[in-house]
Amino acid sequence: MNNPKLAEILKYISIFPGTLIIIMVFFFGSFTLSEGYNMFNPYADTEFAKDYSPEKFQTLKEGMTMKEIKNITGEPLNSSIDTAKGLVYHSYTRDGYLRRNPEVHFTLAGDLAWLGSSIEYGKDSIAKKIYFAWYYD
């Protein structure tokens, strides 16, 4: 049976289910992407300090003073003190931006990976450790 019309019809019928499956996997996959990395908007669930940018933060080096760092990055979102260890922590980003911002309807999951940026200072206000990493928690 050498019917070109039939061959053409069968070709389109066989393409449709595959396309439908791909679309369904993409759509329903957003339900299971809780804490997944979003390649279209990586920072969708990350709240930034007012003058923060990842590019500026990556220029920081351990050994810099708190004043030098604030001149580059601005004020942190949060500050905390560990009195037992004598350390000061400054956080420039935090998780949960999607949940705290009712105007953003970016994902059905409601929670995505986020970029963590924080600094640990010693008693002398010198940066001892700089944290810059993606978190999937």
Give me the count of residues in the chain. 137
Sheet holding 78-82, edge to edge: 78-82, 87-91, 114-121, 127-135
Residues 4 and 69 in one domain: no
pTM for the predicted model, two decimal places: 0.70
* Total of domains in the chain: 2
Domain extent, residue 5, equals 1-30
Residues 62 and 26 in one domain: no
Taking residues 4-9, report their average pLDDT: 72
Residues 11 and 68 in one domain: no
pLDDT tens for residues 98-113?
776 666 655 555 678 8
CATH number at residue 121: 3.30.1450
CA pair distance 50, 55, nearest whole angstrom = 14
Quick one: pLDDT at residue 40?
Answer: 79
Residues 54 and 1 in one domain: no
Residues 71 and 24 in one domain: no
